Amino acid sequence: MSLPMATPDTDIDLWLNQQTDKSLLRFLTCGSVDDGKSTLIGRLLYDSQLILDDQLASLRKESHNRITGDEGIDFSLLVDGLAAEREQGITIDVAYRFFSTDKRKFIVADTPGHEQYTRNMATGASNADLALVLIDARKGVLTQTRRHSFILSLIGVKHVVLVVNKIDLVDYDQAVFDRIVAEYRAFAEPLGFKTLAAVPVSALRGDNILAPSANTPWYEGVALVPYLESIDVSEDRTAEKFRFPVQWVNRPDLDFRGFSGTVASGSIAVGDEVLIASSRKPAAVRRIVTMDGDLDRAVAGQAVTLVVDREVDISRGDVLSRPGETPEFSNQFQARLIWMNEESAFPGRSYLLKVGSQLVPATITDLKFRTNVNTLEQTAATKIDLNEVATVTIATDKPIAFDPYTANALTGGFILVDRLSNATLGAGTIEFGLRRAQNLTYQSFDVNRGVRAQMKGQAARIVWFTGLSGSGKSSIANLLEKRLTAEGRHAYILDGDNVRHGLNKDLGFTEAARVENIRRVAEVARLMADAGLIVLVSFISPFEKERRLAREIAGDIDFAEIYVDTPLEVCEARDPKGLYKRARAGEIKNFTGIDSPFEAPQAPELVLHGGEQEPAALADELHGWLKL
Amino acid sequence: MTTGALTHLQSLEAESIEILREVAASFERPVMMYSIGKDSSVLLHLARKAFFPSRIPFPLLHVNTTWKFREMIAFRDSMAEKYGFDLISHTNPDGIRDNINPFDQGSSRFTDIMKTQALRQALNAGRYDAAIGGARRDEEKSRAKERIFSHRNANHAWDPKNQRPELWRVFNTRLNPGESMRVFPISNWTELDVWTYIYSEGIELPSLYYAKSRPVVDRSGTLIMVDDDRFRFEPGEAPRQEVVRFRTLGDYPLTGAIRSTAATLPEIIMEMQASRTSEREGRLIDSDSVGSMEKKKQEGYF
């Protein structure tokens, strides 16, 4: 049993043309643990004669003591590439495989079934046209099947083949197959797949892989490979609206200035007018440059360099479109987010967002609801954990150009990156821009911060104290405020206790509440500084992320992070409010320094050593440093 | 995703160009590995296309073990001259001092010192934050799982269990101090894609890929070409002329030739289509043990 091999023609050009004329199908396999994904892909490679003699020999050696088909080979060994996987007998990362038949070329992403690796499945799905959803005939539709199908719809995979595997182990029973297919169709109905086919197979034995199997006379559809060879997944991306994200400014010398990038969708011709999304300035395309010569027209998928007819400011991250069909340009949108990191997502935290070649700081402003991936039910939430899917609103620090993901995956799909570790934390699909963001431009009043501060004879600024409870923050802030007042300046102290009793009395001490606590205080500090005040903020603020957030909220206001570095033993010995004693006794949970960490600032503007000097001396030191 | 308008090879080419441009735009000190083989030749061609009419905006780095085929070095220098790219050649000075060679030390120790350690030295010396390589996912099982933008810690090590999710073509290029990225623009190409692209683009290759009468010795089925007088013969061994070619190029004492009469690209492509052994078989370093490539990559090998 084998796929027909392409016979090299004596006329190499003819044969090469056949090769390049073949269409490409990118698909992924997903399903639960042990459904036989790797075995299925191994079977496809074996049957398309892509397993070469040396590989076959080493496979037979490795297949000893494993479950094998008639060929004496454990096909999953072909694709389970990492040593860790071979030891555990499972697949832990996306593996890409390549095979081709006379009709088509295939790139297969083999994605893991374990819950903790769902992020890799989303990765595989993001570049796939079609998905094989595997089900073990003995087990039926499982939680993972539902989860993966939901992620497929979220990422926008339009074509699904339900592969009911191990049909040999249920005696090729039609009733089992029909029941599974009916259950799956009912679940998948709201997911909006364009096509959904179902095939009963045995990857190990080869039933219904290349040709209809005699063991399933009741199955009237085509076998799996012929189905994959013939299904039409093409989408005419050239007919869509023109989008050209500028990747790199091409400037070899003073005479040439081009904009290199890949046409994300649509087409553009020499002479056509384009609009720059950020500045809304127009220009006309003068040349479409490639090393193979200039083109008259460039279409979706082509990597080219555009030269325009006038001097306009275009840089990496800009998106070119046609006038009248521009992308959205806004700093707020609603999106669906898949969280891919052990560290949960919280509204108020600052991340880096990358869409196309645009990279901007961004904050989750609202967590609307979490979607239960098993039932598609929507529930309220305060954070997003690993592998969870939520609908959120996001605000970026500056406006970006984008499209709804359903209209254009390349301008509507984004990732969120951690600002400290630089890990990819999550992936999102933009649903729609929030209109009010476009209308909401900050009023620029004639009386501004500078004017107000000048009236007070000072420069507005924020002095942010961080340090353990009992480190001396408030004592130093108090002394400083007294001295400033004596000098005729206007200062104000925002202190953890006074804010918690009023503005933030609705907040508890969970991680989410602490983020929100800091966010509100930082916003208040910004408003006060905008009013021209010198704001002294005395907050434990133990986390680097939140201090960074406070600094970002401050924007262009002078912001100084003062680290009152007093050893824990000293703070605990002082214990002015008796809190350490209570924390040690277990009466207070999440107490910084005891059972909750304090992340020492990496680059504070000033460090005051509270264990070595008295508050008065430290206040003097700070006053001198501030150079008011 | 499939666009429909472009052929398979055109799509692959555009994808690779996009990746190369992303590297140039996102990193401060990128470098491109240049091994002189066919994949490197395709990579060089793609880089010229990606930045045209600009010159390639980063240097090319060749890790020279001093045991490469002589023709490879001549070919390398002629390419650098013809296309005007910056070429950096690095050899591990400790290896030269200790006279490390594939005969006395064996392939794995030799590879570690003259390739893996040499590469780390060169990357550290150049403070490169991104190194572009020509590896493909169809080559080897652990490569099949590697990202296109593959993160390395400060020791150049790969952590296969902790790879960054890579969605669509939104690549996370962010690094912390000391970390680096390995970037593989032709990840999604197959060996056949590489050959058909070389053919349709007319890309020059060292003649070692084409069949010719060459002096070889047979070492338990592997044909080794005697490229210079440093070769160590076994007792009673003598080179004999055979018509052979190479499917992969590297250190001549560690690279097996195949008996072949394919002297033109069409003949090579046709022969390859009928071939029943995988490409890396000619490389002696992979067959040491199951998982050996994964282990090397964790240690910093490309």
Cross-chain residue pair B170–A414, CB shorter than 8 Å: yes
**Any A CB within 8 A of B52 CB:** yes
Reported as a pLDDT band with limits 50, 70 and 90, residue B266 is: confident
Question: How many C-alpha atoms does B209 have within 13 Å on its Cβ side?
Answer: 25
Domain boundary at A269, A302, A321, which? A321
Write the DSSP assignment of A16-75 as a string of letters: HHHHHHSEEEEEEEEESTTS-HHHHHHHHHHHTT-S-HHHHHHHHHHTTTS---TTS--T
pLDDT at B127: 93
Report the candidate in A300, A316, A207, A218 with the shortest Cα–Cα distance to residue A258. Answer: A316
Residue A178 and residue A211 in one domain: yes
From the CA of A225, how many Å to the nearest CA of chain B? 19
Highest mean pLDDT among A14-18, A183-187, A502-506: A183-187
What confidence tens digit (pLDDT) does each residue in B133-180 have? 999 988 766 677 788 999 998 888 888 777 888 999 999 999 988 899
- The span from the CA of B76 to the CA of B98, in Å, is 26
**First-to-last C-alpha distance (Å) of chain B:** 28
Query: A458 CA to chain B: closest CA distance, Å?
Result: 38
Please report whether residue A595 resides in a domain. yes
- Which chain A residue is nearest to residue B54, measuring alpha carbons? A252
d(CA B45, CA B48): 5
| pLDDT tens-place string over residues A596-611 | 889 999 889 999 998 8
Assess if residue A138 is contained within a domain.
yes
| pLDDT of B103 | 87
| Domain around A598 | 449-626
**B167–A234: do the CB atoms touch at under 8 Å?**
no
Q: Count of A–B CB contacts within 8 Å?
A: 212
- Say if residue A31 is in the same domain as residue A58: yes
Residue among A248, A258, A301 minimizing CB distance to B24: A248
Note the pLDDT tens digit of each residue in A438-481: 444 444 445 677 777 777 778 889 999 999 999 999 999 999 99
CB-closest option in B138, B174, B277 to A422 = B174
Domains of chain B and any CATH numbers? 8-194+291-299 (3.40.50.620), 206-285 (no CATH)
CB proximity under 8 Å: A 127-156 to B: 127-129
Q: What is the CATH number for A272?
A: 2.40.30.10
Mutate to test the interface with B, among A101, A117, A302 (most CBs of B within 10 A): A302
Please tell me the number of Cα atoms within 13 Å of A586 on its side-chain side.
0
Q: Which residues of A touch B190 (CB under 8 A)?
A: 98
Same-domain check for residues A243 and A373 = no
Last residue of a domain, one of A230, A253, A278: A230
Which of A321-330, B47-56, B226-235 shows the highest mean pLDDT?
A: B47-56
ipTM: 0.89
**β-strands B180-183, B130-132: how paired?**
parallel
Contact between B11 and A12 using a beta-carbon 8 Å cutoff: no
Nearest chain B Cα distance for residue A89, angstroms: 14
Does a structural domain hold residue A267?
Answer: yes
Examine the pLDDT at B181 and tell me if it is beyond 90.
Answer: yes
Q: Which residues contact B82 (CB under 8 A, 6 or more apart)?
A: none
SS3 state at B164 = coil
Nearest CA in chain A to B190: A98
B176 interfaces chain A, CB cutoff of 8 Å: yes
Per-residue pLDDT averaged across A149-157, rounded? 90
Both structure tokens of B274: 């009928």
With CA atoms as reference, the chain B residue closest to A413 would be B168
Q: Is A375 helix (H, G, I), strand (E, B) or coil?
A: coil
Residue that terminates a domain, selected from A288, A321, A354:
A321
CA dihedral A465, A466, A472, A474 (to 10 degrees): 50
* Residue A52 contacts B where some CB pair is shorter than 8 Å: yes
Most confident of A188-192, A195-199, B190-194, B294-298: A195-199
Q: Is A541 a catalytic residue?
A: yes
Q: Is residue A5 part of a domain?
A: no
| Residue A626 pLDDT greater than 80, yes or no | yes
Is there a contact between A82 and B294 if contact means CB atoms under 8 Å apart? yes
Phi-psi bin for B257: left (phi > 0), alpha (psi -120 to 50), beta? beta
Q: Which of B52, B192, B295 is opposite residue A290, by nearest beta carbon?
A: B52
Answer whether A21 touches B (CB < 8 Å). yes
A508 and A601 part of one domain: yes
Q: Are residues A118 and A215 in the same domain?
A: yes
- Does A69 fall in a domain? yes
From A265's Cα to the closest Cα of chain B, the distance in A is 9
Point out the residue among A8, A93, A410 whose CB comes nearest to the CB of B168. A410
B24 at A interface, C-beta within 8 A: yes
B219-247 pLDDT, tens digit each? 888 899 999 989 988 888 899 999 999 98
Over 50: is that where the pLDDT of A5 sits?
no
Nearest chain A residue (CA) to B192: A19
Confidence check: pLDDT of A3 > 60: no
Tell me the per-residue pLDDT of A490-534, one tens digit each, with 9 for 90 and over. Answer: 899 998 777 888 888 888 877 788 888 888 999 999 999 988 899
R_g (Cα) of chain B, nearest Å: 19
Instruction: Say yes or no: A295 and A189 in one domain.
Output: no
Q: Does A507 share its domain with A463?
A: yes
How far apart are the C-alpha atoms of B23 and B58, rounded to whole Å?
10
Strand partners, B225: B216
Which residues of chain A from 68 to 127 reach within 8 Å of chain B, CB to CB? 78-84, 86, 92-98, 105, 107, 119-120, 122-123, 126-127
Residue A591: which CATH number?
3.40.50.300
Same domain, A434 and A551: no
Asked if B53 and B84 touch (Cβ cutoff 8 Å), the reply is: no
* Distance between CA atoms of residues A164 and A140, nearest Å: 8
pLDDT at A62: 66
pLDDT at A376: 80
> What residues 268-327 of chain A have any CB closer than 8 A to a CB of chain B?
289-292, 299-303, 305, 316
Averaged pLDDT for residues A434-439: 56
Asked whether the beta carbons of residue B168 and residue A289 sit closer than 8 angstroms, the reply is no
Give me the pLDDT at residue A444, please.
42
Q: Is the pLDDT of residue A6 over 80?
A: no
| Residue A150 reports pLDDT greater than 70 | yes
Contacts of A230 (CB under 8 A, 6+ apart): A103, A222
Statement to judge: residues A201 and A127 lie in one domain = yes
Mean pLDDT for chain A?
85
* Smallest CA–CA distance from A421 into chain B, residue: B176
In a domain, A1, yes or no: no
Whether residues A403 and A520 share a domain: the answer is no
Collect all residues of chain A within an 8 Å Cβ-Cβ radius of residue B137.
Answer: 95-98
**Which of A86-90, A373-377, A450-454, B95-99 has the weakest average pLDDT?**
A86-90
- Subunit contact A234:B161, Cβ cutoff 8 A: no
Six-digit token string for A479: 């002394």
Flag whether pLDDT at A1 surpasses 50: no
pLDDT at residue B284 above 50? no
Domain assignment present for A4: no
Residue B215 one-letter amino acid: P
pLDDT at B2 (0 to 100): 42
What's the whole-number mean pLDDT along residues B73-78? 96
In the prediction, which pLDDT does A298 show?
Answer: 95
> Closest by alpha carbon to B128, among B47, B24, B25, B31?
B31
Same domain, A225 and A241: no
User: Does A305 sit within 8 Å of B52, measured CB to CB?
Assistant: yes
Q: In this complex, do A122 and B274 lie within 8 Å of one another by their Cβ atoms?
A: no
The confidence score (pLDDT) of residue B239 equals 92
Residue in chain B nearest A83 by alpha carbon: B291
How many CB atoms lie under 10 A from the CB of residue A627? 6
User: For chain A, what is the domain count?
Assistant: 4
Residues A247 and A152 in one domain: no
- Minimum CA–CA partner of B275 in chain A: A52
CB contact under 8 A, A16 and B199: yes
Question: For residues A393 and A403, what is the distance between their CA atoms, to the nearest angstrom?
Answer: 15
DSSP B251: B
Is 70 exceeded by the pLDDT of residue A53?
no
Encode pLDDT of A248-288 as tens digits: 999 999 999 999 999 999 999 999 999 999 888 999 999 99
In a domain, A2, yes or no: no
Report the Cα A78 to chain-centroid distance in Å: 30
A127 Cα distance to chain centroid = 14
Q: A290: which chain B residues are within 8 Å (Cβ-Cβ)? A: 49, 52
> Considering only A40-44, A72-76, A152-156, B99-103, which range has the smallest mean pLDDT?
A72-76
User: Quick one: pLDDT band at residue A59, thresholds 50, 70, 90?
Assistant: low
A444: how many CB neighbours lie within 10 A of its CB? 6
Assess whether pLDDT exceeds 50 at residue A423: yes
